[in-house]
Structure 1
Amino acid sequence: MAYVNPAGEFTRDQRYIPTRITADGRDGYPVEPGRYRLVVSRACPWANRAIIVRRLLGLEDALSMGIAGPTHDERSWTFDLDPDGRDPVLGIERLQEAFLARYPSYDKGITVPAIVDVPTGQVVTNDFAQITIDLSLEWTAFHRSGAPSLYPAALREEIDKVNRFVFADVNNGVYRAGFAGTQEAYETAYHRLFDRLDKLSERLTTQRYLVGDTITEADVRLFTTLVRFDAVYHGHFKCNRSKLSEMPVLWAYARDLFQTPGFGDTIDFVHIKQHYYVVHKDINPTRIVPAGPSLSNWLDEHGREKLGGRPFGDGTPPPPPVPAEVVPAEHGPVG
């Protein structure tokens, strides 16, 4: 499977399944505890958003989570982490099976995160941007006591604005650099990425979080790219003007979030590196996974508390991850 566009600029296929799971069930899928399964891979930044939001909101009991392995082939993500290679709830070996159960001739990407209707075994949605918003707004009846408001009404317009340029220039920007097929396309993406990172550094110099004085959806979306930057994007995707650890403001901001319950405890650096360096064979034909970089500095003091801010607003930190969802210690910053 090829990822690089030999003609030049990488363009992301954004044809996702738009069906929504809502409190009123207007798309035919009402919010019901235990009915759905969130399928993720810890390697994927888009899925990582849903993992974090589910943790912060305390939806573990209402929405179960299946974790696919860090690598996949041309067909789809697989459940090779499970003892018999099958998801224990859905009973399938490949996420592709849930997509084909609903759309037998499905011809778009089999992507994570995806939410599957357990009774029918059919995928409901893989619209990653909408999934996290709906977890915040539609699943409120099942939020934990003390759940933060990640998408507050008063800040939504600003959050949406920030999310648009973060997606275009940073979240997707690293891929536009990494999958570019010409020097011109690569350099355009490279400069766009670092120009935006410089602007974000300026924004975060005087405020602890991207929008308002609490963690919001905007911080979740930026974090999942930043946390992968030095381990993957700097080398593998040639985003190498600077490491994250050489950009003081963004580095402190990322460490602040990493050390916040619900963020760093979802990060599996081993899975992240395995995914990118093994799956993207046209970029890394040897499939050798680098041993570095050192990760212990993720736990260094960040000093961002001096800017004020209340991480969870009027809410509280989430409890520790449930035992079945704990990232192995050796896959973290001290592994």
Structure 2
Amino acid sequence: MTYVENGEEFTRDTNYIETRITADGRDGYPVEPGRYRLIAARACPWAHRSIIVRRLLGLEGAISLGIPGPTHDPRSWNFEEEPGGVDAVLKIPRLQDAYFARFPDYPRGITVPAFVEIETGRVVTNNYPQMTLDMSTEWTQYHREGAPALYPEALRGEIDEVAERVFREVNNGVYRCGFAGSQTAYDEAYDRLFTAMDWLVERLANQRYLVGDTITEADVRLFTTLVRFDAVYHGHFKCNRTKLTEIPVLWNYARDLFQTPGFGDTVDFDHIKRHYYEVHTDINPTGIVPRGPDLHGWLEPHGRELLGGRPFGDGTPPPPPKAYERVPAGHWVPA
């Protein structure tokens, strides 16, 4: 499978299945507990967002979670590491099966995250930016008591503006570096990425979170890139001006979130590294997965509490994850 087009700049396909799950069911898919399954690979930063938001809002009882393995082939994400090689609820070996159940000639990539209707086995949507916003705004009836306001109405304009720049220059910026097909494309992507990283340092130097004084959707979207930065983007994607650990403001910010319930406890470093280094064979043809970096620093003091802020606003932290959704200890920060 090829990710780099020689001589070309990387351009992400952002055409997704636009169907939405809403409280009024206007697209034919109403909010209903137990009706949908979230398929979200822990390796993927776009899917990782949905895992965090589901957990922060306490939607585990309303939306079940299926976790594919860390790698995929040209056909699809799969469930090879699950008992019997199939998803426990959908009973399919590949996510592709859910896409084809609704769109037999689906022409695009089989991406995560995706909501799948359990009874029909059909994919509903893979529109990951909208999925997390809808979990915040359409599933409110099923939020846990004390769920935080991740997309408060009064701040939506600013959250959208910040999140758009984070997506364009950082979330997607690391991919524009890693999948650049020419020196010129890489150089331009590199400069754009670190210009944005410098902007983030300036923004976060004196405020704890990206927008307002509580955790919002914008922080979730940035975190999933930062937590992968030293493990894969710095080396594998050549985003190597500086490591995250060498940028004090962003390193402390990322550790602050990592140590917040719902963030770090959803991180699977084993899946992250295996995915990037094993799947991107045109970048890493040997398939060798590096043993580093050292992860102990993720649990060291960060000092960001001195900036004030209220992580969950008027809400409360989520309870610990259910046993069957815990990241294996060996995939996490060493004790």
**TM-score, normalization by structure 1:** 0.99
Letter in 2 for 1:177: C
1:264-292 CA distance string (max 9 Å, x none): 00000000000000000000000000010
What's the CA shift string for 1:176-196, capped at 9, x where partnerless?
000001000001000100000
Between the aligned partners of 2:214 and 2:233, the Cα distance in structure 1 is 27
Q: 1:80 Cα shift?
A: 1.4
User: Which moves more between the two structures, 60-69 or 1-10?
Assistant: 1-10
User: Is this contact kept in 2: 1:8–1:185, CA < 8 A?
Assistant: yes
Does residue 1:115 correspond to 2:115, yes or no?
yes
Are positions 1:174 and 2:185 aligned together? Answer: no
Aligned pairs, number: 335
Distance 2:12 2:108 in 1: 12
Helix, strand or coil at the partner of 1:292: coil
Is 2:298 the counterpart of 1:298?
A: yes
Match of 1:157 in 2: 157
Question: What is the rounded CA distance, in whole Å, between the counterparts of 1:139 and 1:33 in structure 2?
Answer: 9
2:216 corresponding residue in structure 1: 216
Match of 1:230 in 2: 230
- Report the alpha carbon displacement of residue 81 of structure 1 after superposing the two structures with TM: 2.1
Report if aligned partners of 1:8, 1:184 keep a CA contact under 8 Å in 2: no
Pairs within 5 Å for 1:75-86:
75-86=75-86
* Equivalent runs, 1:1-335 vs 2, <5 Å: 1-334=1-334
Taking only aligned residues, the RMSD between alpha carbons, in angstroms, comes to 0.5
Poorly superposed stretches of 4+, deviation over 6 Å: none
Does the 8 Å contact 1:67/1:81 carry over to 2?
A: no
1:6 deviates by 1.0
SS of structure 2 residue aligned to 1:115: strand
Give 1:83 shift: 0.9
Give the C-alpha shift of residue 49 in structure 1. 0.1
| Shift of residue 52, structure 1, vs aligned partner | 0.1
> SS where residue 218 of structure 1 aligns?
helix
Give the residue type in structure 2 aligned to 1:114: A
Deviation at 1:121, TM superposition (A): 0.3
**For each residue in 1:78-120, what CA deviation from the matched residue of structure 2 results, as whole angstroms up to 9, or x when unmatched?**
0112110000100100000000000000010100000000010
* Per-residue deviation, 1:7: 2.6
Describe the SS at the equivalent of 1:84. helix
Gaps of 5+ in 1: none
- Deviation of residue 333 (structure 1)? 1.3
> Partner of 1:37: helix, strand, or coil?
strand
SS at structure 2 position matched to 1:41 = coil
In the alignment, the residues of structure 1 paired with residue 307 and residue 290 of structure 2 have an alpha-carbon distance, to the nearest angstrom, of: 36
Q: Tell me the secondary structure at the aligned position of residue 282 of structure 1.
A: coil
Distance in structure 2 (CA, Å) of the matches to 1:242 and 1:188: 17
- Local SS of the residue matching 1:136: helix
Q: Residues 205 and 249 of structure 1 are in contact (CA less than 8 Å); yes or no, is this contact kept in structure 2?
A: yes
Distance 2:330 2:99 in 1: 33
Q: Deviations over 1:115-164 (max 9, x none)?
A: 00001000000000000000000000000000000000000000000011
Q: Distance in 2 between matches of 1:260 and 1:36?
A: 27
* Cα distance in 2 between the residues matched to 1:183 and 1:223: 28
Q: For structure 2, which runs of at least 5 residues remain unmatched after alignment?
A: none
Q: Which letter does structure 2 place at the counterpart of 1:156?
A: R
Distance in 2 between residues matched to 1:24 and 1:43, nearest whole Å: 33
- Note the alpha carbon deviations across 1:243-267, whole angstroms, 9 max, x for none: 0000000000000000000000000
Q: In 1, distance between residues paired with 2:326 and 2:180?
A: 36
Q: Which amino acid aligns with 1:197?
A: M
